[in-house]
Amino acid sequence: MRLPALLDSLGHAGFDRLATVSGREAVQDLLTQLPASAPADWRQLAAALAVAWTGQRQSFGISGGQGAGKSTLAALLVSAAEALGRRAVSLSLDDFYLTRAERERLGAEVHPLLATRGVPGTHDVALACKTLDALLAGEPCELPVFDKSIDDRASAGRRIEAPPDLIVFEGWCVGAPPEPGARLETPVNALERLEDPAGIWRGHVNDALSRAYPALWQRLRSLLFLQVPDMGAVIRWRTEQEQAHPPERRMSAAAIERFVAHYERLTLWMRESMPGRADLVGRLDADHALADVTGGGK
């Protein structure tokens, strides 16, 4: 997506400063300060959003399927805000996973699939709410860190002392609503059909989205949804992410497909439901490029 079209779209979506000559010039200047190695689409979007926000403390959510580019965009937003002289911090929903012992207990008491991190119901939502409250209030706090190499929460977190002006909260299911109950009856893939035939796991996930997560989503003052084209793209992009790991830590193709299957139901539901809930929708094409950005239905 070319920069003028992006700025026009964001201007129409309510980011008025990007419709002005001075705002567009500020975006161009900021682009020169962001890492040239980063994807051009994300650099442009990060610069535009950073310029559009003026002065007010902002909590910004980024949502989208595995490999969509959430963490890359979050890091660029922090860099862009800091280049404009603001304090910024990014945190991930992933860092609020329940501990390994807590998930194993869920797996034993509710359903074995809940021992696998990722789906709603496997996060410490109360801790996430408490952390966001502290950041929004400008209070010192410690951000938890989840170490995926050991599948457990790290013993030490990140200490934040200075109050941030921008808080970026990214995660694959951020902002997701619960799915209509009738849809849970039909499995969406072999994982659900063979390992959750009674629907206990997917029912637990959906119940968590209904009860626990809305309080967390309400703490985000605006939300961008990165809409993946299909599940095939999610598998391709997740496979590409694996290449960044040492060979001994990379998942096989079969392991990736099984892992992504845990998220398929909610990923497909979010493609339907999130454009009506997010403030902004960034639609990705099959080549991982930003095809367009529009205002959502929120």
Instruction: Summarize pLDDT for 202-220 with one digit per residue, the tens.
Output: 999 999 999 999 999 999 9
Tokens of 56: 């007010």
Q: For residue 54, what pLDDT is reported?
A: 66
The whole-number average pLDDT for the span 121-150 is 95
Quote the CA–CA distance of 208 and 283 in Å, as a whole number. 27
Reported confidence tier of residue 243, pLDDT bands at 50, 70, 90? confident
**What would the pLDDT profile of 174-199 be if each residue is shown by its tens digit?**
999 999 999 999 999 999 999 999 99
Task: Output the pTM of the full model.
Answer: 0.94
Reported confidence tier of residue 55, pLDDT bands at 50, 70, 90? low
Reduce the DSSP state of residue 258 to 3 states and report it: helix
CA angle (246 as vertex; 243, 247 as ends), nearest 5? 80
User: In the chain, at which residue ranges do the beta strands (DSSP E only) sit?
Assistant: 58-64, 88-92, 141-143, 146-147, 152-153, 158-160, 166-171, 222-227, 280-284, 290-295
Q: For residue 195, what pLDDT is reported?
A: 98
Type and span of the H or E element at 273: helix 253-273
Quote the CA–CA distance of 168 and 95 in Å, as a whole number. 13
Beta-sheet pairing, 141-143 with 58-64: unpaired
Average pLDDT, the chain: 93
Q: For residue 296, what pLDDT is reported?
A: 79
Q: For residue 227, what pLDDT is reported?
A: 95
Instruction: Decide if pLDDT at 144 tops 80.
Output: yes
Contact between residue 103 and residue 97 where contact means Cβ atoms under 8 Å apart? yes
Reported confidence tier of residue 122, pLDDT bands at 50, 70, 90? very high
The whole-number average pLDDT for the span 41-60 is 88
Quote the CA–CA distance of 238 and 244 in Å, as a whole number. 11
Instruction: Decide if pLDDT at 116 tops 90.
Output: yes
The whole-number average pLDDT for the span 157-161 is 93
Query: 3-12 and 40-52 are packed helices; what angle lies between their axes, rounded to 10 degrees?
Result: 40
Closest CA to 83 of 165, 169, 152, 20: 165
Instruction: Decide if pLDDT at 45 tops 70.
Output: yes
- The full length of the chain comes to 298
For the residues of 195-248, what is the DSSP string, one character each? H-TT-HHHHHHHHHHHHTTHHHHTT-SEEEEEE-S-HHHHHHHHHHHHTTS-GG
Q: For residue 15, what pLDDT is reported?
A: 84
Backbone angles phi, psi at 85, to 5 degrees: 85, 15
Query: 231-242 and 253-273 are packed helices; what angle lies between their axes, rounded to 10 degrees?
Result: 130
**Percent of the chain topping pLDDT 70:** 99
For the residues of 90-159, what is the DSSP string, one character each? EEEGGGGBPPHHHHHHHHHHT-GGGGSTTSTTSB-HHHHHHHHHHHHTT--EEE--EETTTTEE-SS-EE
**What would the pLDDT profile of 5-35 be if each residue is shown by its tens digit?**
999 889 888 888 898 999 999 999 999 999 9
| Complete domains list, the chain, with CATH | 3-295 (3.40.50.300)
User: Residue 58's beta-bridge partner residues?
Assistant: 166
